[in-house]
């Protein structure tokens, strides 16, 4: 009975060491506060309502912003510019008319939750775009603006680098200038890579 007690202490000590080693080996949670910039690519589609155009195609662009972390909550602001190859061609009046979205841009607020090295977030803000139509011997460019809403995830795979995937929905109205032009509703799914400024945290 006297010898059993020290053996139990040794056993408990060994268990504590085994449990502690993995905990020490784990990397500390990611720190999100600071400036960042990166690039993204993906695919988008849009409907020019109520016109018959149903455009789709690839997108490629850049993003930059700033995060501020408070515990597990991360607040941020981000701007992006995304070039677009989304287009569609339809027949109208015996001729073919093409609609193509030249670019999408936005300035958005972000609200996120840090989970280990991952950051889950929602985003909302102001967006604008440029689209052109050509056909019937006429070419015209129209500016759009409106609301953008989306969600995504950033994941830090290194202290200064993260990968991301996100989806954005755009509800845009044209600057008509007296013209009869339809609204543009678009969805973009994109993935990207981001560099985080080391001196900012």
Residue 84: predicted pLDDT? 93
**pLDDT greater than 70 at residue 10:** no
The residue segments making up the domain with residue 74 are: 28-200
Mean pLDDT of the chain: 82
Is 3 a domain residue? Answer: no
Phi, psi dihedrals of residue 154, rounded to the nearest 5°: -105, 145
Is 18 a domain residue? Answer: no
**pLDDT greater than 70 at residue 31:** yes
Q: What number is the average pLDDT over the span 97-112?
A: 92
Classify each residue of 62-91 as buried b or exposed e, where b means 16 or more C-beta atoms within 10 Å of its C-beta.
ebebebebeeeebbbebebebebebbbeee
Q: How far apart are CA 21 and CA 118, in angstroms?
A: 23
Q: How confident is the model at residue 46 (pLDDT cuts 50, 70, 90)?
A: confident
Is 85 a domain residue? Answer: yes
Is 16 a domain residue? Answer: no
Looking at the structure of the chain, the number of domains it has is 1
Residue 21: predicted pLDDT? 41
Is 192 a domain residue? Answer: yes
**pLDDT greater than 60 at residue 179:** no
Q: How far apart are CA 176 and CA 198, in angstroms?
A: 45
Is 194 a domain residue? Answer: yes
Is 15 a domain residue? Answer: no
Q: What number is the average pLDDT over the span 158-184?
A: 85
Is 53 a domain residue? Answer: yes
CATH code at position 190: 2.40.160.20
């Amino acid at each position: 009975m006297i010898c059993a007690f020290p053996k139990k202490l040794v056993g408990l000590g060994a268990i504590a060491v085994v449990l502690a080693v993995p905990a020490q080996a784990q990397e500390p949670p990611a720190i999100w506060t600071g400036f960042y910039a990166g690039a993204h690519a993906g695919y988008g589609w849009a409907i020019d309502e109520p016109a018959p155009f149903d455009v789709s195609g690839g997108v490629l662009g850049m993003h930059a912003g700033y995060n501020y972390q408070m515990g597990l909550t991360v607040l941020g602001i981000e701007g992006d510019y995304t070039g677009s190859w989304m287009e569609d061609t339809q027949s109208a009046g015996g001729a073919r008319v093409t609609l193509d979205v030249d670019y999408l841009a936005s300035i958005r607020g972000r609200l996120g939750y840090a989970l280990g090295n991952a950051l889950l977030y929602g985003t909302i803000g102001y967006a604008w775009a440029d689209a052109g139509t050509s056909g019937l011997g006429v070419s015209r460019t129209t500016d759009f603006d409106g609301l953008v809403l989306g969600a995504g995830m950033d994941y830090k795979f290194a202290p200064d680098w993260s990968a991301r995937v996100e989806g954005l929905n755009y509800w845009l109205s044209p600057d008509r200038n007296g013209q009869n032009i339809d609204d543009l509703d678009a969805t973009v799914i994109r993935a990207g890579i981001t560099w985080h400024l080391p001196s900012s945290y």
